[in-house]
Amino acid sequence: MLGVSSVPATISPSAPLLPDGTRDVLPDEWSQREYVRWSLSELFRAWGYQGVELPALEYASAAHPLDSRAFKLIDTGGQVLALRSEFTTALGRLVATRYPAGPFPLRLQYGGQLWLRAQTSELGRLREFTQVGAELIGVATVQSDIELLALARAALDRVGVKADLEVGFPGFVDAVLEDAGLSGAARDALHDAIDRKSGADIDLAATTYGLSSEVTGVLHRLTDLYGGNEVLDEAGRMAQGTRARAAVSHLRAVAQGGDLTLLFDLGVSRRYGYYTGMTFRAYVDGLNQPVLGGGRYQLANGLPGAGFAMGLERLVRALPPGLPPHPETVLALDLPALHAAQQAGLRAELAWTDNRLELKTYSALRGIRRWVQGRELTEVQA
Amino acid sequence: MSSQPERSANHLTLALPKGRILEDAISLLSRAGLPITMPEASRALRHEFPGVTVLELRNQDVPVYVDLGVADAGIVGKDVLIESGRAVYEPVDLRFAPCHLSLIREVGASGPIHRVGTKYPHVARQYLAEKGIPAEIVKLNGNIELATLTGLADAVIDLVQTGGTLRANNLQEVDVLFYSSARLIVNRAALKLRRERLRPLIARLRELVREES
């Protein structure tokens, strides 16, 4: 067989070098990651979002939304610690303790690694991953929702990632279910079926809970509420009660005020108990995966907040080719040449020996085409 | 990053299970207006049609390809979908390949269940936990019924289509976990990004299923 080694690969019985779901980042990818991180933090700063760092170690708490999937450690005093598994909860703690009196709105940005002991399904899926994000805390207005959507759009544009922004409103599904007279287990089962757009499971729940054909028809229509602005008109026709109508008119105001091209999916109902307003995600064409997700929630101390996080690993995969730009690397034969080359915008490595043959071999291996010498940046034979 | 050829923005990639379902799936999709036909018997695993690529996969792999976005949509049994635990949309029950997943024992068996053999370990674990049965689960890959007959397990959780195999082996269904049939599944991002193609396809499939049942 062509290209296949005839020597069988041996599977070493010793322990693997790295724990499952962790990996090394090598220079090419590192420079892409740094470029994305730096571009986004600069952008967020330009919009007035101040940076904070949060500890990677937290006290474990059953109230934490990802508690069951977080890595746990035992502290010297016997307390159970958890490795940070998402940023919003930690940021809520920071706001409650460091900024109890504001001033609000408070605009904060963060970035760093997160860890999950159990990923949903994939063996070998990363269990250590990186997010950057921004949160706007203390206000819950149409303008603040628009700001976050506009910031999300600007962030995607800044790193050249072509993506569609889609807005949902889990409370709308809940309100429609409430208006249909559903509660308890039936409402929970239907939230799940609607979020999966599973017509079959809606019918199954309709049989189990004895729902009228009229109610069942409404539930099926919820699964078709995705697309452009026309979705809001259809949702407006479906909205009966105050909550449902308020949700639609809020989204209308966001859509009209923002001058943004948005998609809507009013059948989204994942974590409807957590999100108190709109949710949004960005889908990259070609990747078929979201690269950004966020929404409006309430902090433990009752303050309203909203924000979004972007997955660095996925963003790097969606980065257009040629980013970040790579200046040429040259070999500087002396220190003045190193400084001169750097001032000229080049990257320069300093020669460590006078042995030209050794430098030649190294340059070939590193793909270095030019050597420079002296204060005046004289090119010499490589 | 990928070896896929350049495609138009509206190109659809479908994940279909090889074997019996494939023929039904292709026939239904072509009646729904997709320009696809049953591929000639060959070793090719990827079939190109105008604007549509069909990937021929093991049925357990269909939810994986769709969830991870390599395929935009696929067709797979609800049993396989539930076992996979994948968060995909499942907008249409296509009604073919009907079957149910059942807890099966030898006729007359009434002792406690200590060990359960199954191809569906995730479903089995959840079911046994809900029923409070502290049984061990053994993952098997075929001829599951043999596990009870040989004493490897006290019960099995497996698919039942006609019940013929059960009767021939002196087995009976003790409980039905759920009913299954083929489902159209769709990647969450693809449904939105390719909605101009997928929304009419979904609508047409729903009509066809309604007409034919």
At B44-91, the pLDDT tens digits run: 788 888 999 999 999 999 999 999 889 999 999 999 999 998 889 999
Contact yes or no for A196 and B199 at CB 8 A: no
Q: Is residue B6 very low, low, confident or very high in pLDDT (cuts 50, 70, 90)?
A: low
Percentage of chain A modeled with pLDDT above 90: 69
Distance from CA of B189 to the nearest CA of A (A): 5
Record: contact B67-A196, CB cut-off 8 A: no
Contact by Cβ (8 Å): A223, A267 = yes
SS3 helix, strand, coil % of chain A, rounded to 5? 40, 20, 40
CB–CB contact B192 A285 (8 Å): no
Chain B residues touching A164 at Cβ < 8 A: 192-193
Domain annotation covers residue B191: yes
> Does B198 lie in the same domain as B105?
no
Contacts B198 to A, Cβ<8 Å: none
Tell me how far apart the alpha carbons of residues A25 and A262 are, in angstroms, rounded to a whole number: 34
B199 Cβ neighbours under 8 A, 6+ residues apart: A227
Average pLDDT, integer, range A124-138 = 89
Taking CA–CA distances from B66, the nearest residue in chain A reads A288
H or E element at residue A361: helix A356-366
CA dist A151 and A307 (Å) reads 10
Q: How many angstroms separate the CA of residue B108 from the nearest CA in chain A? A: 30
Per-residue model confidence (pLDDT) at position B157: 95
Q: Give the pLDDT confidence of A22-78 residue by residue, as tens digits.
A: 889 999 899 999 999 999 999 999 999 999 999 999 999 998 888 888 999 999 999
Q: What is the mean pLDDT of residues A266-288?
A: 87
Q: How far is B45 from chain A (nearest CA, A)?
A: 20
Contact state of B195 with A198 under an 8 Å Cβ cutoff: no
Task: Considering only the beta carbons, identify the residue of B92, B181, B191 that sits closest to A226.
Answer: B191
What the block records as the tokens of B118 is 């199954």
* Model confidence band, residue B4 (pLDDT cutoffs 50, 70, 90): low
Strand partners for B180: B99
Interface touch B192/A200, C-beta < 8 Å: no
Q: What is the pLDDT of residue A119?
A: 65
Fold of A163-284: BirA Bifunctional Protein; domain 2 (3.30.930)
Chain B residues 152-191 within an 8 A CB cutoff of chain A = 181, 183, 186-191
Surface-to-core class of residue A249, CB atoms within 10 Å of its CB (0-12 exposed, 13-18 middle, 19+ buried)? middle
In chain A, which residues touch B (CB < 8 A)?
120-121, 164, 166, 196-201, 203, 223, 226-227, 263, 265, 283-285, 287-290, 317
- Contact B195/A227, CB-based, under 8 Å? yes
Q: What is the pLDDT, as a whole number, of residue A341?
A: 92
Q: Give the tens place of pLDDT for each residue, B21-36.
A: 888 999 999 999 999 8
Is there a contact between A164 and B193 if contact means CB atoms under 8 Å apart?
A: yes
pLDDT of residue B163: 86
Look at B202 and A289; give whichever has higher pLDDT.
Answer: B202
User: Pick from B44, B46, B43, B41: which is nearest to B16 by CA?
Assistant: B46
Which residues does chain B have within 8 Å of residue A290's beta carbon, measured at their own beta carbons? 188-189
Q: What is the pLDDT of residue B192?
A: 93
Domain contains B82: yes
Chain A residue numbers touching B85 (CB-CB < 8 A):
120-121
CATH number at residue B33: 3.40.190.10
pLDDT at A122: 52
Amino acid at B80: V
Cβ separation of A198 and B90 shorter than 8 Å? yes
B1 pLDDT higher than 50: no
Tell me how many domains chain B contains. 2
Among B75, B123, B192, the strongest candidate for a mutation testing the A interface, having the largest count of A CBs within 10 A, is B192
- Which part of chain A is CATH 3.30.930.10? 21-160+291-326, 163-284
Residue A202 in contact with residue B89, Cβ under 8 Å? no
Q: Cα distance from A317 to chain B (closest Cα, Å)?
A: 9
Burial grade of A1 (CB within 10 A; 0-12, 13-18, 19 or more): exposed
Compute the nearest-CA separation of A146 from chain B (Å): 21
Contact B195/A at CB under 8 A: yes
Under 8 Å CB pairs connecting chains A and B tally to: 64
Query: Has residue B2 got a pLDDT over 50?
Result: no
Looking at the structure, do residues B87 and B186 belong to the same domain, yes or no?
A: yes
Q: B82 with B157, same domain?
A: no
Same domain for B86 and B62, yes or no, is yes
Give yes or no for residue A4 having a pLDDT over 80.
no
Answer whether residue B106 is part of any domain: yes
Residue A337 makes CB contacts below 8 A (sequence gap 6+) with A348, A372, A373, A374, A375, A377, A378
In a mutagenesis test of the A interface, which of B75, B79, B89 is the best target, namely the one with the most A β-carbons within 10 Å?
B89
Contact B90 A227 (CB under 8 A): no
Distance of CA A289 to the CA centre of its chain: 11
Q: B87 to chain A: nearest residue by CA? A: A196
B190, B202: one domain? yes
Q: Do B154 and B148 form a contact (C-beta atoms < 8 A)?
A: yes
Domain A21-160+291-326 = CATH 3.30.1360.70: no
In whole angstroms, give the CA distance from residue B193 to residue A286: 9
* DSSP-derived secondary structure letter, A222: H
Chain B residues touching A223 at Cβ < 8 A: 91
Extract the tokens encoding A311. 């997955």
CB contact under 8 A, A200 and B87: no
Cβ distance of B87 and A196 shorter than 8 Å? yes
Hey, what are B176's tokens?
A: 């039905």
C-alpha–C-alpha distance, residues A166 and A281, integer Å? 5
In this structure, are B58 and B157 located in the same domain?
A: no
Mean pLDDT of B181-189: 95
d(CA B172, CA A278): 50
Does residue B159 sit in the same domain as residue B191?
no
**How far is CA A54 from each of CA A50, A77, A119, A130, A308, rounded to the nearest angstrom?**
13, 22, 22, 13, 16
Q: Is residue B2 part of a domain?
A: no
Taking each helix axis as running N to C, give the angle between helix A230-238 and helix A213-222, from 0 to 180 degrees, rounded to the nearest 10: 160
Q: Which chain A residue is nearest to residue B94, measuring alpha carbons?
A: A200
Do residues B129 and B156 both lie within one domain?
A: yes
Segment B92-115 shows an average pLDDT of 91
B85 and A285: CB-CB below 8 Å? no
Same domain (yes/no): B63, B93 = yes
User: Range of B124's domain?
Assistant: 99-178
Structural contact between residues A314 and A287, judged by C-beta atoms closer than 8 angstroms: yes
* HEC profile of chain B: CCCCCCCCCCCEEEEEECCHHHHHHHHHHHHCCCCCCCCCCCCCCEEEECCEEEEEECHHHHHHHHHCCCCCEEEEEHHHHHHHCCCCEEEEECCCCCEEEEEEEECCCCCCCCEEEECCHHHHHHHHHHHCCCCEEEECCCCCHHHHHHCCCCEEEEEECCCHHHHHCCEEEEEEEEEECEEEEECHHHHHHCHHHHHHHHHHHHHHHHHHC
Shortest CA gap A61–chain B (Å): 25
| 3-state class (DSSP) for residue A28 | helix
CA atoms within 13 A on the CB side of A195: 18
**Minimum distance, in Å, between the CA of residue A16 and any CA atom of chain B:** 26
For residues B18 and B111, membership in a common domain is answered with no
Q: Is B192 within 8 Å of chain A by CB?
A: yes
Is B39 inside any structural domain?
yes
